Structure 1
Amino acid sequence: MSRGRVLLVDDDRDLLKAAADWLAVSGFSVDAFHRPEEAFQALQREEPDVVVTDLRMPGIDGMTLLNSIVRQKREVPVILMTAHGDVTLAVQAMKQGAEDFIEKPYDADRLLSVLDKAVEKRRMKQEIERLQGLVREGGKAGNIVGDSMPIRDLRSRIATLADVDIDVLIIGETGTGKELVAQALHHQSRRASGPFVAINCGALPETIFESEVFGHAKGAFTGAISDRKGKFEYAAGGTIFLDEIESMPLGLQAKILRVLQERAIERLGENRVRPVDVRIVAAAKSDLSADILAGRFREDLFYRLATVDVRIPPLRQRRNDIGLLFGHFASLAARRYGRAERAVPADLADRLQQEEWRGNVRELKARAERFALGLDDPWPSSGRTADMAQDLPLPDRLAAYETHLIREALEKHDGNAARAAMALQIPHRTLNEKVARYGLQALRKLSNSANE
C-alpha cells in the first residue's frame, strides 16, 4: 500500500526531480509539476493526500496556490517549502490554512515525517467522516465507532443477537458504552419501532422502585391519586434496559426474576396480573461472580439473565481506535457548540494511546470535548507527562517537552507571544514558528498584538 499520494510543485526542475525520486523510492505516489497552474488543474481532476509546494515561484506562487486550495479543497493538507528568510511568511501561511512548512535545504527524513503525519491525519479525518455518515444513516445502531478487531467482533455479535428475541446481559467496565450497545440491540431488532426504556437500578430509591418500574393503582399509597403505568408496561413491544443491575437490592431482584420468568407484572396496590411484552437487556460492570459469592446477587437471576452475554472491550484493548474516537467526539462537540473544528495532530493521537483511560470511552469523550472548546491540551501537563513520554521516540519526547514549556510560558504571560519569547530566551519569530508547528495558536488569541 502506498504511503500516500503527493502532489509536488517546484519551479526548480532539478530539485523537483530529486524530491519526486526520493519520495517515490520511499513509498509515496508522486505527481510532480514545475508550473503551479498545471498542478491546480490536476488537483481538480483527482485529489491527492497532500500537496507540497515551493513558496516563492514566478506567476502563481505558493501562497496563491494555498489560498486556492483552502477555498476549494479545504480537506487537502498543504505543506510549504520555504527559504530560511521566509519563516515569518510561512507562519502566516499556517494561519491561513497550511498544514506545515519545511525550510530549504530540507532534511529528507524531516520531509518524510511531515508527509506521514499529514497523510495519517487526512485519512483519519476521512474515516471519521465515513463513520459519522454511517451514524447518520443507521441511527442508534451505527453509533458504535471503531475499526479495531474487538469492536468489529462486538458489532458482529450485536448483529447476531439483535433479532433473536432473547434476554441479554451486557458486561463492561464503567464508560465503555453499555447503554449504547443496548440501544444497538434494540434498534437492529424487530422491536425497533417500540419504546426503548432505560432504568438505572442504582439511582432509583428502593422505596419508589416498585411504583416506578411496575406502576401503581389509585390509593396504593399517600399521593397515588390515580392509576399509573410503570416502565415495564410503558415499554410494551419494545426493550427494557436495566443498567447497573448489580446495585439492585436483593428483595427487588426476586421481583425482577418473577417478571423474567412469567412476563407479567402486578401494579403496586393491585392484585391483577398484567402480561408485558418486552425484551430485557441488563448491564453490569463485571461478570457478577464476586457479587454472587458475596450473597449480593441472586444466582438464579444471573442465570436467567445471562442466557447470552455481550462483553464490551475496555479502551485499553482497542488502542487503535483511540485517535479515531477522539477525532469523532471532538468533531461532534465543535458542531454542537458552534466552534470551528480543530484538526487533531497525528502525534497527539499517538500520545493519547499512552494513557490508561480508566474511565474508558466516557473519559476520552470528555477530553475530546475540552479539546474542541480549546479549554486545554488533551494530554495532561501534570507530573504524569514525563512518565508517559518515556515510551515515545526521542524526537517526540523532545517535542512533547518543548510543547509543554511553550504552553506554560504563553499561559503565564496571558498569551503574549513577545513576553513568552523573552522568558524562553528565544527569538519572537522562532516562537511563532513553534506555536504554529505544535498547534498552540489558540493560546495566542489572548495576546495583544499591539504589545508585541
Structure 2
Amino acid sequence: MPKILFVDDDYEFTNMLSTYISMEGYDVESSNSPKSALNLIKNNNYDFVITDIRMPEMDGLRFLQEALEIKRDLTVIVMSAYGTYETAIEAVKRGAYDYISKPFKPEELLLLLKKAEERESLKRENNRLRMQLKQESGLDNIIGNSFQIQELKEKIKRVSPLDVTVIIQGESGTGKELVARAIHDLSKRSEHPIVAINCAAIPENLIESELFGHARGAFTDAHTDRAGLFEEANNSTLFLDEIGELPLNLQTKLLRVIETKEIRRIGETKDRKVDVRIIAATSRNLLDDVKEGRFREDLYYRLNVFNLVIPPLRERVDDIPILLKHFVLKFCKKHNIREPVIEKATIEFLTTLRWEGNVRQLENAVESAIILCDSGTLAVSHFSQLKARTDEYRDIEIDEKDMSLNKAVAKFERNFIIKALAAVNGNRTKAAQLLNISHRTLLYKIKEYGIK
C-alpha cells in the first residue's frame, strides 16, 4: 500500500483529500505544519508527498528543498492556486515530480498519483536491471569457475552494497586489489573513483602526510597546503593495501578516523569531516601480528567487520586453464600477435606448479611465453623460466629424520633471501623489490633468520 503525506495549512481541505485518497487504497497521513512534516519525512518512508506551494510557516519551494535534502529520491507533487503557476513550474525545475492547479477534482489528483506510481515502478525495475548488470560487469575481472571463486564472488555481491569496512586476506599476487575494486564498483559509492595506497610502498616518514595531508609550512618541503588521500576519497572508498605494514603510531590515527569520521592535516589544529569507506588488504596473518604487538587489536576488530579470503592459485588449479586462455588473449591483443594453439601438455605442466606468486606470476609467465612463441603453438618450452624455478625445488635437500615442512620452507626462504641480497650487493631496498615484499618485512625476516 503506497504511503502518502499531505502538507497544507488548510485543515478542512487536507482532511477531505486524505479521506478520499485513503478510500482508494492509499495509506495517508497529513500535516498542517511544514516543519512538522519535515520531521515526519525524516522518520518515515513515504512514497509520495503532496504539498501546497503557499503556506505561512514556510513557502513550498523551501519546503521542497529541505524535503529533498532529507531524501533525495522523494516524489513530491505541489499544489498551486491561482497566481502561483510560475512558482509551481519553478518547483518542478527544482526536483518536484509534477504540479496540480487548485481548484481540482479529487479524481484528477488520483490520476496524477497513478502516473507517479507507474513512474516509480519503472524506476525500481530500471535500478534492479542496472544493479544486475553492474554486478555482472563488476566481477568480470575476477576470473575462475572453481567453487572457491564462485563463493568469493557471492560474498562480494553480499557485502558490496553495505557500508562496512572489509579486510581482504590473501598471498601476494592473488588479486586483492581486483577484489577491492569489485566491491567498490558494486557499492553505492561507485559514482566516485576508488582511491588506493600501498602502505608498504611509501616510506614511513611520508605516509602520514600521504594519508592525512598537510598545511603549508608543516615541515621543510611543505610549500603548499595539500589534501591527503582520505579527503580525496571523501564519499568514496579508500583501499589500504598491505595494512599490516602501517606503523603503530599511524594505526592509532587510523583508528581515530574510523571512530570519529574526522581527519586532521599535519600542521593544523582543526578537524575535517570525511565520509570514507575503508577496504584493507594484507598478505600477513594480522592475528599473529596482534599477538606479537605489531598490530593494534582494537584496529584489527574495527577493520575486520567483514573478512574475505582469496585462495592461492595452487588451491584452485581448476582455474588455471581459463586463466591461461584469458591471459593468452590479453597479451596477443597487446602485442599484436596471432593467438596460438595451447598444447595439452602446457596446461598439464602449469597445473603441477606451486605458484608462489599466484595469478600475478602466471600472468607474467604467459606474457613472456607469448613473446617467445614463434610458432602457432604454445608449448612447455616457452615457459623455460618456470622450469628453472621447479629445478630449484628439486635441489632442496631432504633429511629423512626431520621431515618438518615448516623447517624446510624456512630453510628455503632463508637461502632465497641470502641469494637476493647477494644479487644486489647487500642493498636491502633493492632486495625487497626483487623479492616482491616490503622493506619492513625483509628487515623482520633478516632478524628472524639471523642473516648478517
Task: Check conservation: 1:195, 1:236, Cα contact below 8 A.
Answer: no
Contact 1:195–1:237 under 8 Å retained in 2: no
* Residues 286, 137 of structure 1: alpha-carbon distance in 2 compared, 3 angstrom cutoff: closer
Match of 1:200 in 2: 198
AA aligned to 1:373 is: I
1:378 aligns with 2:364: no
* 8 Å CA contact 2:195, 2:237 repeated in 1: yes
Partners of 1:135 and 1:141 within 8 A in 2: no
| Residues 225-270 of structure 1: CA deviation (Å, up to 9, x unaligned) | 2211110000111110000011111111111111111111001100
**Aligned to 1:314, which of 312, 315, 318?**
312
Q: Secondary structure at the match of 1:378?
A: helix
- Report the counterpart of residue 255 of structure 2 in structure 1: 257
1:342 aligns with one of 330, 340, 343 = 340
Aligned match for 1:214, one of 212, 215, 220: 212
SS at structure 2 position matched to 1:164: coil
Contact 1:214 1:233 in 2 (8 A): yes
Counterpart Cα distance in 1 of 2:393 and 2:222: 59
Contact 2:135–2:157 (Cα < 8 Å) also in 1: no
Aligned partners of 1:236 and 1:277 also within 8 Å: yes
- Give 1:136 deviation, angstroms: 11
Equivalent position amino acid for 1:171 in 2? Q
Per the normalisation by structure 2, the TM-score is 0.54
**Which residue number in structure 2 is paired with residue 289 of structure 1?**
287
Q: Which amino acid aligns with 2:227?
A: K
Deviation of 1:174 after TM superposition, in Å, equals 0.8
Whole-Å Cα distance in 1 between the matches of residues 181 and 346 of structure 2? 31
Instruction: Determine if contact 2:196/2:238 at 8 Å carries over to the other structure.
Output: yes
Displacement after TM superposition at 1:204 (Å): 1.2
For the 8 Å contact 1:330–1:371, the answer to whether it is kept is: no
Give aligned pairs, total.
Answer: 255
User: 1:137 Cα deviation (Å)?
Assistant: 10
- The whole-number CA distance in structure 2 between the counterparts of 1:136 and 1:256 is 31
After the TM superposition, which residues 20-419 of structure 1 pair with which residues of structure 2 at under 5 Å, given as runs? 139-374=137-372, 377-378=382-383, 380-382=386-388, 384=390
**Distance between the aligned counterparts of 2:261 and 2:389, measured in 1?**
55
Change beyond 3 A, Cα 1:228–1:378? same
Give SS of 1:310's match: strand
Structure 1 or 2, whichever has the larger Rg, is 2
Q: What is the CA–CA distance in structure 1 between the aligned matches of 2:301 and 2:389, rounded to whole Å?
A: 46
Q: Distance in 1 between matches of 2:306 and 2:135?
A: 28
Opposite residue 378 of structure 1, the aligned amino acid is: F
Distance 1:179 1:292 in 2: 23
Contact 1:200 1:244 (C-alpha < 8 Å) held by counterparts: yes
- Please tell me whether the aligned partners of residues 135 and 186 of structure 2 are also in contact (alpha carbons under 8 angstroms): no
Distance in structure 2 (CA, Å) of the matches to 1:344 and 1:136: 32
Distance 1:226 1:386, change over 3 A: closer
1:335 CA displacement: 0.7
Give the CA deviation at 1:347: 2.6
Separation in 1, partners of 2:392, 2:165? 47
Q: Deviations over 1:356-414 (max 9, x none)?
A: 111110111111111221266126444847999xxxxxxxxxxxxxxxxxxxxxxxxxx
Runs (4 or more) in structure 1 with deviation over 6 Å come to: 134-137, 385-388
Change (3 A) 1:185 1:222: same
1:323–1:350: 8 Å Cα contact kept in structure 2?
A: no
Separation (CA, whole Å) in 2 of partners of 1:264 and 1:385: 53
Q: Offset at 1:354?
A: 0.5
Structure 2 CA distance, aligned partners of 1:191 and 1:185?
A: 10
8 Å Cα contact 2:134/2:185 also seen in 1: no
| 1:132-185 Cα distance to aligned partner (Å, 9 max, x none) | xx9999555310000110000000000000000100000001110000000000
- Whether the aligned pair in 1 keeps the contact of 2:139 and 2:153 (CA below 8 Å) is no
SS at match of 1:209: helix
1:39-68: per-residue Cα shift (whole Å, max 9, x none)? xxxxxxxxxxxxxxxxxxxxxxxxxxxxxx
Q: In 2 relative to 1, CA 287–345 (structure 1 residues): closer, same or farther, beyond 3 Å?
A: same
**1:171 and 1:283 in contact (8 A); partners too:** yes
Structure 2 residue identity aligned to 1:154: L
Q: Does the 8 A contact of 1:327 with 1:368 survive in 2?
A: no
Q: Which residue of 1 aligns with 2:35?
A: none
Q: CA deviation at 1:337?
A: 1.6
CA contact (8 A) 2:353 2:390 kept: no
Paired-residue identity, %: 43
Shift in Å at residue 339 of structure 1? 1.6
What amino acid maps onto 1:237 in structure 2? N
1:9-46 alpha-carbon deviations (Å, 9 max, x no partner): xxxxxxxxxxxxxxxxxxxxxxxxxxxxxxxxxxxxxx
Q: Give the aligned partner of residue 97 of structure 1.
A: none
Give, in whole Å, the separation in 2 of the partners of 1:179 and 1:194.
Answer: 17
* AA aligned opposite 1:335: K
Instruction: Please give the alpha-carbon distance, in whole angstroms, between the structure 1 residues aligned to 2:392 and 2:238.
Output: 46
Letter in 2 for 1:192: S
RMSD: 2.3
Corresponding residue SS for 1:159: helix
Secondary structure in structure 2 of the residue aligned to 1:242: strand
Instruction: Give distance in 2, aligned partners of 1:246 and 1:138.
Output: 31
Unaligned runs of 5+ in 1: 1-133, 389-452
Q: 1:385 to 1:205 in 2, by over 3 A?
A: closer
Q: CA deviation at 1:273?
A: 0.7
Q: Displacement of 1:343 after TM fit?
A: 2.1
Q: Give the TM-score of the pair, scaled to structure 1.
A: 0.54
